[in-house]
Copies of this chain bind each other. A is one copy, B any other.
Amino acid sequence: MLEHLTTKIGARLSGSEGAAKAVEWTNKIMKEYGFDTVYLQPVMVPHWIRGKKEIGQVVRGSKKSDRVALTICALGGSIGTGPNGVVAQVVEVKSFEELAKLGKEAVQGKIVFYNQPMDPTLISTFAAYGKAGFQRRSGASEAAKYGAVGVIVRSLGVNIEDYPHTGSMSYAPNIPKIPAVAISTNHAEILSAMLLEKRDLKFYFETYCETLPDVQSYNVVGELKGSEFPNEIIAVGGHLDSWDLAQGAHDDGTGCVQSIEVLRVFKTMGYKPKRTLRAVMFMNEENGLRGGLEYANQAKLKNENHIAAMESDAGGFTPRGFSMTGTPEVKNKIKNWKVLLEPYGLTDFNREGGGADIGPLAAQGVTLIGFLPDSQRYFNYHHTPEDTFDKVDKRELELGAGAMAALLYLIDRYGLNQVLR
């Protein structure tokens, strides 16, 4: 499944042909596996496109030979510069506080270069990602407040690499929109070193991205109907969309195929779930979350009773455990199963969490569960051209699907209320 989704279909940014093909194919494959019900759930999604390849150059003087190419890519959601590009002096900062201290005087008319690395001392790379993410998510508007004309953001990667990491950014209301790009970690280091040498260095970049009108798309849902409590729904999902730079293997082809695999395995082994098990391929996690929002919206409109929702969106690596959001009673019930799961290397049950796509279900009191694979290699690939099929280890991927199936089996069999049925 993963090979087809990543190498035959490939990149699947919302609104793209790849995303449409992925909808069609996952719908088809879940039908072929004989799931009881398979259907599309319509949702309108944003349609951002990268356009022509970006150009990024350090400008050390007026001659052509004074220009040094550095690797950048537009951030998702950014406006483009168009063919005229942006050229300006560069101000390097590591935080919004530093930016505020510099103020309008130092920033006006300049390009702000955010260069805060991910904190390597945090064992969970997701914690480091969370801590450094401000630059990419809201760096542009924050810089525009002080009159900046563009931003360059250090890629959110753990290693020093030559490829940039894209990802979504958004503009705050009532602040001028300025173009935003990510720079590879290696070139962030180089740019920083060049700035130490020559403070009035200029940077030039050209981007052709733009936001087109919204496009009709879909979440894809496949169900095994519950034999005893069909109205109690247990959802398990990943997101079908990916960034445009690669094949969307670890983010999040793996989560999608693992979710389908859980149902496929139960069906193949003849296990008839008591409750309704639902595999959900969410659309548009990366730049809008429209699929997750619409799924929760429909659940509410239809008065559906989700007893739990699990998401796999942290890569297809060796399983380590599950994060949870729910009542203390329900969390304790799940933690009591730890003894059954520990022999399979599942030991991490203490984190609060869930997943972006299932997040909107929390308002309906649904217990959220996040599948936690080992996080160490995720940000080598996340949102980069390197997120390809060959980076996924077959056995690690399968063990993840097995771990998810094991916990979902327990939830299906024993429910999540306090008294065992």
Contact partner of A376 (CB less than 8 A), chosen from B120, B123, B125, B399, is B399
Which of A170-178, A353-361, A390-398 lies at the binding interface? A390-398
Inter-chain contacts of A276 with B (CB < 8 A): none
B-contact 0/1 string along A363-407, CB 8 Å cutoff: 000000000001011001000000000000111100100000000
A128 → chain B, closest Cβ, in Å? Answer: 11
Q: Is residue A186 within 8 Å, beta carbon to beta carbon, of the partner chain? A: no
Q: A159-B395, A347-B347, A395-B158 are in contact. Are A374 and B374 (CB under 8 A)?
A: yes
Q: Give Cα A158–Cα B120 distance, bound, in whole angstroms.
A: 32
Inter-chain contacts of A123 with B (CB < 8 A): 343-345, 399
Docked complex: A90-125 residues within 8 A CB-CB of B: 120, 123, 125
In the bound complex, do residue A318 and residue B396 qualify as a contact, i.e. CB atoms below 8 Å apart? no
Inter-chain contacts of A396 with B (CB < 8 A): 376-377
In the bound complex, do residue B399 and residue A380 qualify as a contact, i.e. CB atoms below 8 Å apart? no
A339 → chain B, closest Cβ, in Å? Answer: 13
Contact partner of A318 (CB less than 8 A), chosen from B318, B343, B344, B348, is B318
**Most chain B CB atoms below 10 A, which of A158, A343, A376:** A376
A184 → chain B, closest Cβ, in Å? Answer: 16
Q: A123-B399, A318-B318, A399-B123 are in contact. Are A376 and B393 (CB under 8 A)?
A: yes
Q: Is residue A50 within 8 Å, beta carbon to beta carbon, of the partner chain? A: no
Inter-chain contacts of A125 with B (CB < 8 A): 395
In the complex, what residue of chain B is closest to A397 when comparing beta carbons?
B376
Q: Is residue A12 within 8 Å, beta carbon to beta carbon, of the partner chain? A: no
Q: Is residue A275 within 8 Å, beta carbon to beta carbon, of the partner chain? A: no
Inter-chain contacts of A347 with B (CB < 8 A): 347-348
A216 → chain B, closest Cβ, in Å? Answer: 41
A325 → chain B, closest Cβ, in Å? Answer: 21
Q: Is residue A187 within 8 Å, beta carbon to beta carbon, of the partner chain? A: no
A-B contact pairs, 16 of them (CB 8 A): A123-B344, A123-B345, A123-B399, A125-B395, A158-B395, A159-B395, A318-B374, A318-B376, A345-B374, A347-B348, A374-B374, A376-B393, A376-B399, A377-B395, A377-B396, A380-B393
**Residues of A participating in the B interface, judged by any CB pair closer than 8 Å:** 120, 123, 125, 158-159, 318, 320, 343-345, 347-348, 374, 376-377, 380, 393-396, 399
Other than the known A123-B345, A345-B348, A376-B399, what 9 A-B pairs have Cβ atoms closer than 8 Å?
A123-B343, A123-B399, A159-B394, A159-B395, A318-B376, A376-B393, A376-B396, A377-B395, A380-B393
